Chains A and B, each alone.
Chain A
């Protein structure tokens, strides 16, 4: 499909161009020297985090499309959004106005929670995708890439929290793992589960991207980005 090809090319290019940028986003998560050891400016950190999130989102969108294409070759499956726990909102849903009113602390915490939630399901997804017969290498690469970059983003967000909120701003609560770990022998269930992971992750990736962009706007340009 033309769109997917365009998206693939775009993502590949963006991956290459942002690789160095993203890799350096975790250059100063040095906890030993304290919060003042970071030499990267806040603007750059936020910029990198936002770009990182945007790229993750694009790749997730691409992965979802690839997965759907793969299912199409099986006979035109039209999957509905499963009602599992994957797409359950991890945070309180709110409108834009509400979101704009929330504090930086809340944003950062939400982002962190989301990232931490999706770390394991993505790893499971990657393992599960390898069992498919006609899985494309592009999809496998993307899932691997997403897992790795999500970990990097997590480290970056931790650094941001430390910088913006100070050392005491980090909550160490780990949300409970409610994902379906049971590996069902039923292929259908596996397919559904994998699709739900991709679908829901895409949604949350967009959320992370939006949050980080909001935060970046607030931190850098406080006049225009404050409450409308």
Chain B
């Protein structure tokens, strides 16, 4: 607060005391008539000389030359004496000219306007020369056309000029900056551009068909005093009409294209879904009739299996593909057809009606479990149905080995009551409930019944009698799997050579009189013994009673003819003991069951 007060006091003191010129600017020529004699201004054009002017003011009696005189003083430390104006210009009134000699740069000058006779100092001014420099206007102002816009409505120009000749810019004595101004002709407002330190500047955005005025002025850089303006130049560019029309046409085209593109984009976005369906149709998912694709994806195998089996995929044709069935079909068809009234049929007690019997194997209802045991379907029924009806039948149950002790019973019964109800036989077979799934068929009864192995005695001694009476061998092609058929077997099949026990081959010889012999040895596939008795022999030579043999036999080795050498049980060591064939290495314990191909591979010599 006190600070500001002191400053204001200083201000007053200064103003009242001195009335001096501020160091910033210089006074101009405008004379103040109300005042007494005073300086009207001092100017330097090139920082090398300067002039000062004064006016007598109201004191008209001092207008005579010499009445007022100018004294100056340079504020040097060396001298402080007042000297008179070195040169009063004769041509110009009230002008004092300081030439180069008297012009000291960076030196403060003080001038006084005195009336010598009265010794009155009317005015005083102090300054430094560089502060009163007003450069001359630039020269050589001209313009060149840069370009015209596409529409032909606007153009750009480049304006050039030269520094004033009086200013010594080359040596660096003065550094000038320029300012360009332009306006539409006869307009009052000038457009000012930025300060330019070079000697050219471009003006943009001028209108064609309009006249422009351009002028330039300069000043010392970092100083405030502009010089005078240069002479104005006129700029005018005629409008080119043709370009305008072309421009308009292209403009319309461009906007049209842009509009169309925007419409297309909008259309696409609005109809996105439909377009997607049209251009990128959905890929159809895999579909099975009746099956839900979701079920497939979830992968529940039980349901899947049930579903799949319920389809019509497991048709009866499937059984045609089954080689087991095929084999059965092949073998029995021909003799059946050839000997319609053959002994076989007679012995078997076949009737034509039987041939019409259809084996109800319920293949359609089997649910794909072709090899599975169907408890509802009685086994003896299957076998029995096989016996009378297997001739000419294509569809037969592959597992012929299913048998029970009471099968002959059933077989007998069934021969009488074949057509009607297979189910009726069911209550008649309680005896084999406790039996195993598989049992070996040892013999056939004349009536067509099947005699099981002695291990499981059948309950009908009657059957035995019949068996003894009738010696028939019914060839059941137990060659379930054609893959296991050997060449030997095939030969035997085709030939009518009556089988003879050939222990050399390692087979269990089949007794021609089927009493208690193994009908087949080993696994299903063996049945080579069966092949030896393809046909029923009307006469059965007495067959030595063979000791009871086990149901299954292990395949010991394979001889050179690809015959399987069985491993007899310990009770019958004589059967297969000598084998002239080469001894194969001891086989690993075979599983009591199937001989898989890879195991067969091990057996091959």
A33 is an interface residue with CB less than 8 A from chain B: no
Q: Which of B115-123, B170-178, B379-387 contacts A (4 or more CB under 8 A)?
A: B170-178
User: Are A75 and B11 in contact (CB-based, < 8 A)?
Assistant: yes
How many angstroms from the CA of A95 to the CA of B223 in the assembled complex?
Answer: 20
Residues on A with beta carbons closer than 8 Å to the beta carbon of B130: 203, 206
User: Are A89 and B107 in contact (CB-based, < 8 A)?
Assistant: yes
User: Are A78 and B14 in contact (CB-based, < 8 A)?
Assistant: yes
**Contact residues of A between 65 and 109, Cβ < 8 Å to B:** 71, 74-81, 87-89, 93-97, 99-100
Residues on B with beta carbons closer than 8 Å to the beta carbon of A75: 4, 7-8, 11
**Which listed residue (B6, B15, B101, B224) contacts A3, Cβ 8 A?**
B224
Q: Please name 18 pairs of A and B residues whose Cβ atoms are closer than 8 Å in the assembled complex, sorted by A.
A: A54-B221, A58-B222, A61-B223, A74-B7, A78-B22, A81-B23, A81-B126, A89-B107, A93-B74, A94-B105, A96-B47, A99-B105, A206-B106, A209-B175, A213-B172, A214-B171, A217-B172, A225-B170
How many angstroms from the CA of A169 to the CA of B195 in the assembled complex?
Answer: 40
**Which listed residue (A89, A188, A204, A210) contacts B10, Cβ 8 A?**
A188
User: Are B172 and A88 in contact (CB-based, < 8 A)?
Assistant: no
User: Are B107 and A93 in contact (CB-based, < 8 A)?
Assistant: yes
B76 is an interface residue with CB less than 8 A from chain A: yes
Residues on B with beta carbons closer than 8 Å to the beta carbon of A209: 175
A211 to chain B, nearest CB (A): 9
B69 is an interface residue with CB less than 8 A from chain A: no
B20 is an interface residue with CB less than 8 A from chain A: yes
Known contacts A87-B75, A96-B168, A216-B172; can you find 15 more A-B pairs with CB under 8 A? A7-B222, A54-B175, A61-B223, A77-B7, A89-B77, A93-B105, A95-B103, A96-B48, A99-B105, A209-B175, A210-B172, A213-B171, A213-B175, A217-B170, A225-B171
B102 is an interface residue with CB less than 8 A from chain A: yes
B236 is an interface residue with CB less than 8 A from chain A: no
* Residue in B102, B103, B222 whose Cβ sees the most chain A Cβ within 10 Å: B222
Provided the pairs A80-B22, A93-B76, A210-B173 are in contact, do residues A74 and B8 lie with their beta carbons within 8 angstroms?
A: yes
User: Are A207 and B106 in contact (CB-based, < 8 A)?
Assistant: yes
A224 is an interface residue with CB less than 8 A from chain B: yes
How many angstroms from the CA of A96 to the CA of B22 in the assembled complex?
Answer: 25
B104 is an interface residue with CB less than 8 A from chain A: yes
**Which listed residue (B6, B22, B77) contacts A187, Cβ 8 A?**
B6
User: Are B100 and A204 in contact (CB-based, < 8 A)?
Assistant: no
The residue in chain A whose Cβ has the minimal distance to the Cβ of B21 is A80
Consensus secondary structure, chain A interface: helix
Residues on B with beta carbons closer than 8 Å to the beta carbon of A61: 222-223
How many angstroms from the CA of A87 to the CA of B548 in the assembled complex?
Answer: 148
**Which listed residue (B14, B107, B173, B221) contacts A80, Cβ 8 A?**
B14
The residue in chain A whose Cβ has the minimal distance to the Cβ of B2 is A187
**Contact residues of B between 102 and 154, Cβ < 8 Å to A:** 102-108, 126, 128, 130
How many angstroms from the CA of A95 to the CA of B50 in the assembled complex?
Answer: 12
Convert B561-595 into 0s and 1s, putting 1 for each residue whose CB lies closer than 8 angstroms to a CB of A: 00000000000000000000000000000000000
User: Are A80 and B18 in contact (CB-based, < 8 A)?
Assistant: yes
User: Are A58 and B172 in contact (CB-based, < 8 A)?
Assistant: no
B3 is an interface residue with CB less than 8 A from chain A: yes
How many angstroms from the CA of A100 to the CA of B100 in the assembled complex?
Answer: 12
A contact set with B: CB distance below 8 Å: 3, 6-7, 10, 50, 54, 57-58, 61, 71, 74-81, 87-89, 93-97, 99-100, 133, 186-188, 191, 199, 203-204, 206-207, 209-210, 213-214, 216-217, 224-225
Residues on B with beta carbons closer than 8 Å to the beta carbon of A78: 11, 14-15, 22
Convert B76-112 into 0s and 1s, putting 1 for each residue whose CB lies closer than 8 angstroms to a CB of A: 1100000000000000000000001111111110000
Residues on B with beta carbons closer than 8 Å to the beta carbon of A94: 104-105
How many angstroms from the CA of A134 to the CA of B556 in the assembled complex?
Answer: 120
How many angstroms from the CA of A87 to the CA of B106 in the assembled complex?
Answer: 9
* Chain B contact residue count (CB 8 A cutoff): 43
The residue in chain A whose Cβ has the minimal distance to the Cβ of B23 is A81
How many angstroms from the CA of A217 to the CA of B174 in the assembled complex?
Answer: 12
Provided the pairs A54-B175, A77-B11, A79-B14 are in contact, do residues A188 and B6 lie with their beta carbons within 8 angstroms?
A: yes
How many angstroms from the CA of A81 to the CA of B22 in the assembled complex?
Answer: 8
How many angstroms from the CA of A74 to the CA of B8 in the assembled complex?
Answer: 8
How many angstroms from the CA of A16 to the CA of B48 in the assembled complex?
Answer: 33
B10 to chain A, nearest CB (A): 5
How many angstroms from the CA of A89 to the CA of B74 in the assembled complex?
Answer: 11
Convert B35-60 into 0s and 1s, putting 1 for each residue whose CB lies closer than 8 angstroms to a CB of A: 00000000000011000000000000
User: Are B171 and A71 in contact (CB-based, < 8 A)?
Assistant: no
Residues on A with beta carbons closer than 8 Å to the beta carbon of B10: 77, 188, 191
Residues on A with beta carbons closer than 8 Å to the beta carbon of B6: 186-188
B347 to chain A, nearest CB (A): 125
How many angstroms from the CA of A95 to the CA of B98 in the assembled complex?
Answer: 11
Residues on B with beta carbons closer than 8 Å to the beta carbon of A71: 7
Residues on B with beta carbons closer than 8 Å to the beta carbon of A191: 7, 10
Residues on B with beta carbons closer than 8 Å to the beta carbon of A216: 172
How many angstroms from the CA of A187 to the CA of B6 in the assembled complex?
Answer: 8
Residues on B with beta carbons closer than 8 Å to the beta carbon of A133: 3
**Which listed residue (B77, B103, B170, B195) contacts A96, Cβ 8 A?**
B103
Residues on B with beta carbons closer than 8 Å to the beta carbon of A6: 195
Residues on B with beta carbons closer than 8 Å to the beta carbon of A89: 76-77, 106-107
User: Are B105 and A188 in contact (CB-based, < 8 A)?
Assistant: no
Chain A to chain B: the 5 pairs with minimum beta-carbon distance, closest first: A213-B172, A93-B104, A93-B107, A61-B222, A75-B8
**Contact residues of B between 476 and 506, Cβ < 8 Å to A:** none
Residues on B with beta carbons closer than 8 Å to the beta carbon of A188: 6-7, 10
B511 to chain A, nearest CB (A): 121
User: Are B171 and A217 in contact (CB-based, < 8 A)?
Assistant: yes
**Contact residues of B between 320 and 373, Cβ < 8 Å to A:** none
How many angstroms from the CA of A227 to the CA of B170 in the assembled complex?
Answer: 12
**Contact residues of B between 204 and 243, Cβ < 8 Å to A:** 221-224
User: Are A204 and B106 in contact (CB-based, < 8 A)?
Assistant: yes
**Which listed residue (A77, A186, A224) contacts B171, Cβ 8 A?**
A224
B4 to chain A, nearest CB (A): 5
Residues on A with beta carbons closer than 8 Å to the beta carbon of B20: 80
User: Are B172 and A81 in contact (CB-based, < 8 A)?
Assistant: no
User: Are B100 and A95 in contact (CB-based, < 8 A)?
Assistant: yes
A204 to chain B, nearest CB (A): 7
User: Are B7 and A214 in contact (CB-based, < 8 A)?
Assistant: no
The residue in chain B whose Cβ has the minimal distance to the Cβ of A187 is B3
B60 to chain A, nearest CB (A): 32
How many angstroms from the CA of A116 to the CA of B341 in the assembled complex?
Answer: 149
Residues on A with beta carbons closer than 8 Å to the beta carbon of B101: 95, 97
* Residue in A71, A87, A96, A203 whose Cβ sees the most chain B Cβ within 10 Å: A96
How many angstroms from the CA of A213 to the CA of B108 in the assembled complex?
Answer: 22
A226 to chain B, nearest CB (A): 9
User: Are B102 and A95 in contact (CB-based, < 8 A)?
Assistant: yes
The residue in chain A whose Cβ has the minimal distance to the Cβ of B48 is A96
User: Are A50 and B128 in contact (CB-based, < 8 A)?
Assistant: no
The residue in chain B whose Cβ has the minimal distance to the Cβ of A71 is B7
The residue in chain B whose Cβ has the minimal distance to the Cβ of A100 is B171
The residue in chain B whose Cβ has the minimal distance to the Cβ of A226 is B171
B108 to chain A, nearest CB (A): 7
Residues on A with beta carbons closer than 8 Å to the beta carbon of B77: 88-89
